[in-house]
Structure 1
Amino acid sequence: MDLLQIVFLALIQGITEFLPISSSGHLLLPSELLGWPDQGLAFDVAVHVGTLSAVVLYFRHSLGAMARDWLGQVFARRDSTEDSQLAWYLILATVPAALAGLVFDGAIETHLRSVWVVAITTIVFGLALGWADWHGGRAKTVFDITWKTALIIGLAQALALIPGTSRSGITITAALFLGLTRTDAARFSFLLSVPVIALSGGYKALQLWLQSEPAPWGELVGGAAIAGVSAFVCIHYFMHYIRQIGMMPFVVYRLLLGAALIWVAL
């Protein structure tokens, strides 16, 4: 890839990984309109490392508290705390997507990675996000989550394997439906991204290692850095303004993106 492709694709990955607007939809457009080649497995691993670093850095205090209390409960038999419970719920919510990925990843790559699928899911799940934002209770925090709530959000996250769904979009949608505030719905979604991105990136890294292909380290380091910085900035401003702006700007954007993809497919 040339420098323009590296910068553009890394920015797309960094920004759309956490905004509820579908990263796969955005990555399809330059490929379809400009004829750019697939970014490749090595670059995919690199930008996953960048986005994972961003979310871990941003939520380092919360993640540190959860890790400390969870480890203390498991290994030192300490009493359960809000942070250790939240850690358990994040683990529970990760299981459906991990299992679905192992079972259906090959079939999804073969049959569902098309412009039409991405266009339809971008629109349908965008409308679902708008409905959830409009009708959600918006009263609960992440510490009001129960194992049932976590499991439902986890099952919703498994749907994000379908291209165009948006992992952050579908988990925020489910959390809003279940009564969480906009801020806490986004917070749980972003915390939930840590194990999911780690598992996905680790799986892709294993595939890359088994292929034993030479790695273009300049491209990879640059892509990881750009994706990480853009993801951190995106998370910061999303968390800062989401209470005021709500989800409707993202719903409208998804509808426009879906329409653009349909136009490209025709």
Structure 2
Amino acid sequence: MNETMTWLQAIVLGGVQGLTEFLPISSSGHLRIVSEVWFGDDAGASFTAVTQLGTEFAVLLFFAKDIWRIILAWFAGLRDATKRNLDYRVGWYVILATIPIGLLGFLFKDQIRTAGRNLWLVAIMLILFSFVFIAAERFGTRARPLEKITGRDALIMGAAQCLALIPGVSRSGATASAGLFVGLEREAAFRFSFLIAIPAVLASGLFSLKDVFEPAGEGLAATGPQIAVATLVAFVLGYVSIAWLLKFVSHHSMSWFAGYRIALGLLVIALLATGVISS
């Protein structure tokens, strides 16, 4: 029998989701850490997936013009080969990049909800992937804008998105790092990262909706109103964090986030090792 979530927990965790979803610091990892440190329990993978709907609605609103233009261009290109422009290709690239995580997410959904939420794993991934960010900044040429993206780039970034199934990695961090490795500009890598996350996160959230009130495995059980409020909080803070992040990465390295991740990972390991929190 799962413990019932309180209103404070729902609001705090919705806020954590909104603030961390788009930053390359792992929203699922932060939700797991915060729920354990503050509340002594796990919010659950289903709660995480459903509140991500709020942040994805923020993406849909923030990039509404771009998304609508891409959709129109994609359908126009299907009917008329002369209209197959950049937006048409980006539409296909988003579909291509979504396939890997769709397959792996379905095959390993049970592991994601149980063993994958171990705090030792979260802490280790926070630290290890920080060095991937640093390497991406060091070796990426950052020479190509979004207009120069290719199908190969999309497939590589889509494969990297699969790593987001592991709490502590970060969806935006993994995909943006892959974008830097293939030579995209930092802002272009993040913009495409947000676009390819939309189908995967929406599908994951809708698929998990039926489980969030009675979590499979460990996890706090939330009521409908609590889920609605948490998702709304995630939406508002998510929209703000998108705007801030795109401005930040246009002038600053991802290494800033790597430093934070390493410090947090070491802190979690210390708390686990001393028995202050359980894994």
TM-score, normalised via structure 1 length? 0.91
Which residues in structure 2 correspond to 1:37-52 (within 5 Å)?
37-39=41-43, 43-44=47-48, 46-52=50-56
Please name the residue that 1:147 is paired with. Answer: 151
Q: Tell me, yes or no, if the aligned pair for 2:21 and 2:55 is still in contact at 8 Å.
A: yes
Q: Which residue of 2 aligns with 1:221?
A: 228
**Map of 2:134 onto structure 1:** 130
Q: Structure 1 stretches of 5 or more lacking a match?
A: none
Asked whether 1:257 is paired with 2:271, we answer no
Amino acid paired to 1:224 = T
- CA shift digits 1:29-75 (9 cap, x unpaired): 22332334333577445422211110000001110110000111224
**Partner in structure 2 of residue 244 of structure 1:** 251
Asked if residue 164 in structure 1 is aligned to residue 168 in structure 2, the reply is yes
Structure 1 189/80 Cα, relative in aligned 2: closer, same or farther at 3 Å? Answer: same
Q: Which residue in 2 is equivalent to 1:16?
A: 20
Distance in 2, Cα, partners of 1:27 & 1:210: 18
* Paired residue type of 1:31: S
Q: Is the 8 A contact 1:43 1:223 kept in 2?
A: no
Specify the alignment match of 2:74 in structure 1: 70
For 2:245, give the aligned amino acid. F
Q: Give the CA RMSD over aligned residues.
A: 2.2
Could you tell me whether the CA contact under 8 Å between 1:42 and 1:215 is conserved in 2? no
Work out whether 1:119 is the aligned partner of 2:123. yes
Q: Given the superposition, is the C-alpha separation of residues 244 and 155 from structure 1 closer, same or farther in structure 2, using an over 3 Å criterion? A: same
d(CA) in 1 for partners of 2:203, 2:156: 20
Separation in structure 2 between the aligned mates of residue 170 and residue 223 of structure 1, nearest angstrom:
25
Name whichever structure is richer in helix by fraction: 1
| 1:100-159 deviation per Cα after TM superposition (whole angstroms, max 9, x unaligned) | 111122234333321111111111111101110122111112221111111111111111
Matched, 1:5 2:5: no
For the 8 Å contact 1:86–1:143, the answer to whether it is kept is no
Shift of 1:194: 0.9
CA contact (8 A) 1:32 1:264 kept: no
User: Cα distance 1:157–1:81, how it changes in 2: closer, same or farther (>3 A)?
Assistant: same
User: Share of identical aligned residues, percent?
Assistant: 38
Residues 113 and 168 of structure 1: CA distance in aligned 2, closer, same or farther (over 3 Å): same
Query: Against the structure 1 CA distance between its residues 259 and 40, is the aligned structure 2 distance closer, same or farther, given a 3 Å change threshold?
Result: closer
Amino acid at match of 2:252: I
1:33 aligns to 2:37 (yes or no): yes
> Aligned partners of 1:93 and 1:43: how far apart in 2?
25
Counterpart among 197, 200, 203 of residue 196 in structure 1: 200
SS in 1 for 2:83: coil
| Contact 2:213–2:224 under 8 Å retained in 1 | no
Distance, in Å, in 1 between the alignment partners of 2:133 and 2:45 is 31
Partner Cα distance (2:108, 2:227) in 1? 28
For residues 74-117 of structure 1, give each alpha carbon's deviation from its aligned partner in whole angstroms, at most 9, with x where no partner exists: 24565211001001001100100000111122234333321111
SS in structure 2 at match of 1:245? coil
Which of 63, 81, 84 pairs up with 2:85? 81
Structure 2 contact 50–208 (Cα < 8 Å) conserved: no
Contact 1:42-1:220 at 8 Å conserved across structures: no
Cα contact 1:94–1:196 (8 A) shared by 2: yes
Counterpart amino acid of residue 138 in structure 1: R
Change (3 A) 1:51 1:254: same
Aligned pair partner of 1:179 in 180, 183, 205: 183
- Which of 95, 101, 106 is matched with 2:99 structurally? 95
- Mean Cα deviation higher: 244-253 or 225-234: 244-253
In the superposition, the TM-score normalised over structure 2's length comes to: 0.87
C-alpha contact (below 8 Å) 1:46/1:223 kept by paired residues: no
Q: 2:237 aligns with which of 224, 230, 236?
A: 230
